[in-house]
Amino acid sequence: MPIRIRSKREGFRRAGMPHPARWVEHPLARFTREQIQQLEDDPMIEVELIRNEPKPKPKPKAKAKAKAKAKAKAAPASKGRPTSRRIL
């Protein structure tokens, strides 16, 4: 589970390192429990613990869908027997 940290002031030092004013992800193992508590208690630092959530499956692009649909329509009929028979 990664941790995201940003400082309200660029380069503000806490837990043995400077923190930028933008969000930065760190592995949770980089900090001790005491350091994480120190970061969370400091009003100059914002901390977010990121829970691992399953990523949604990417949706196929519209062009790929249209191309597959056109390919299915344009597929030639089989050269063997007719696919439908007339029953008398």
Whether 77 shows a pLDDT value over 60: the answer reads: no
Whether 78 shows a pLDDT value over 60: the answer reads: no
Instruction: Indicate the pTM of the whole model.
Output: 0.56
Q: What is the pLDDT of residues 11-58, one digit of tens each?
A: 999 999 999 999 999 998 999 999 999 999 999 999 998 887 666 666
Q: Who wins on pLDDT, 75 or 20?
A: 20
N-terminal to C-terminal alpha carbon distance within the chain:
69
Which pLDDT belongs to residue 11? 93
Which pLDDT belongs to residue 70? 73
Q: How far apart are CA 52 and CA 50, in angstroms?
A: 6
